[in-house]
Structure 1
């Protein structure tokens, strides 16, 4: 099972992406570099929360984001 990056952005935008994926039953993984950086004592970078989906769901997920006016 290979995962590909679907989206990277702010925590608020990722909440919208998660909602769309959940409504459409698309499993996802969140990697929060902001939280990791704060825990490690570093600053945070822009677009530091990443959403990954399984490769077979990637095109469907991208289309759903386009339909909902969410772009990276």
Structure 2
């Protein structure tokens, strides 16, 4: 994930919408779900614990797509 930057952090439900938009526009992403990690470790759940990362060179395009859909949370 060396060239990836965080695009989004939020709930799993909202992250699903973000991922759908990125997939529809052929933008590759990496998802990190801290909720699943916390549950597996026995820590319970954390709010806003789904992170979406994209490569640096598509960051601005991805931000614009999410902003058009009221999903970008700077």
Q: Which interval holds the TM-score relative to the shorter structure?
A: over 0.9
In structure 2, how many angstroms separate the alpha carbons of the residues matched to 1:6 and 1:44? 21
Runs of 5+ in structure 2 lacking a partner?
none
Runs of 5+ in structure 1 lacking a partner?
none
State the 1:46 CA deviation: 1.4
* 1:31 equivalenced with 2:32 (yes/no): yes
TM-score with structure 2 setting the length? 0.92
In structure 2, how many angstroms separate the alpha carbons of the residues matched to 1:70 and 1:8? 10
State the 1:44 CA deviation: 2.0
Aligned-residue CA RMSD (Å): 0.9
The 4+ residue runs of structure 1 with deviation greater than 2 A are: none
Where do 1:1-72 residues align within 5 Å? 2-72=3-73
TM-score with structure 1 setting the length? 0.95
